[in-house]
Amino acid sequence: MTPVLDVHGLAYAYPDGHQALFGVDLHVHRGERVALLGPNGAGKTTLVLHLNGILTAGAGSVAVSGLAVEKANLTEIRRRVGVVFQDPDDQLFMGTVRADVAFGPANLGITGAELDHRVLRALEQVGMEEYVDRPPHHLSFGQRRRVAVATVLAMEPEVLVLDEPSSNLDPASRRELADILRSLDVTVLMVTHDLPYALELCPRSVVLSGGTVVADGTTYDVLTDEALMKAHRLELPFGFDPRTAMPRP
């Protein structure tokens, strides 16, 4: 089966010459939820920016459901890969929640009842349908993060890429977002430093460090490999033990 995300030998140097990725391979299949872990400066964001063509491969290749990420395909690639950035304010810039969620599908040429349906469905998926006519800047941070997820879901992407989805959320909002992500029928790649969140949501974890993949396995195996964790500056919160963490239903 063709992977949804297929990254082969991806290498990338920024224009100033800094080499951020060295031959990264990553294959994610439909329906998987994968955490992308690694210390600051590992190359996680650089990799994510290649998945929807904000950056394009210096060497190697990136494909989404068999379609190469390259200039000629960017409109279709951005429909297939939805990226939710860490700061929801990077994604919300219209006068109402409705207008923000409609923006992407409207750009694809969707109008009328189909557009209304997409907007409401996406807001329902994140539990924000009651806020459809509110200005995004009147919402709390956690509510804006949910709306940012809805702007991407309205595009009906094949893969949802989230950059630090649990950051700045209170415990209840963090849990509610986990419930939402778990309920979605979409492939998820989640960049996170929140290792308990990775364990809770993602059966598989990939560790990037120094621009290369240094581990790819079950999240449980990664988080219980003390030598690996130490070598790549991954630390569990004080008192958190993956061996005894209770799985959520």
Ligand X SMILES: Nc1ncnc2c1ncn2[C@@H]1O[C@H](COP(=O)(O)OP(=O)(O)OP(=O)(O)O)[C@@H](O)[C@H]1O
Residue ranges that bind ligand X, judged by CB under 6 A: 14, 16, 18, 20, 38, 40-46
The residue among 210 and 242 lying less far from ligand X, judged by its C-beta, is 210
Q: Round to whole Å and give the CA distance between 153 and 149.
A: 6
The residue among 18 and 137 lying less far from ligand X, judged by its C-beta, is 18
The residue among 14 and 93 lying less far from ligand X, judged by its C-beta, is 14
How near is the Cβ of 63 to ligand X at its closest, in Å?
A: 20
Place of tokens 């950059």: 163
How near is the Cβ of 49 to ligand X at its closest, in Å?
A: 8
To 10 degrees, the CA torsion angle through 163, 233, 26, 149?
-10
How near is the Cβ of 235 to ligand X at its closest, in Å?
A: 13
How near is the Cβ of 100 to ligand X at its closest, in Å?
A: 25
Q: Round to whole Å and give the CA distance between 52 and 83.
A: 8
The residue among 20 and 161 lying less far from ligand X, judged by its C-beta, is 20
In a 13 Å sphere around the CA of 175, the CA atoms on its Cβ side amount to 5
How near is the Cβ of 21 to ligand X at its closest, in Å?
A: 8
The residue among 100 and 194 lying less far from ligand X, judged by its C-beta, is 194
Nearest by Cα to 128 from 53, 190, 56, 180: 180
How near is the Cβ of 54 to ligand X at its closest, in Å?
A: 11
**CB contact at 8 A, 83 and 48:** yes
The residue among 42 and 234 lying less far from ligand X, judged by its C-beta, is 42
Q: Round to whole Å and give the CA distance between 39 and 41.
A: 6
Q: What are the Cα distances from residue 177, in Å, to 23, 122, 128, 183, 184?
A: 33, 14, 12, 10, 11
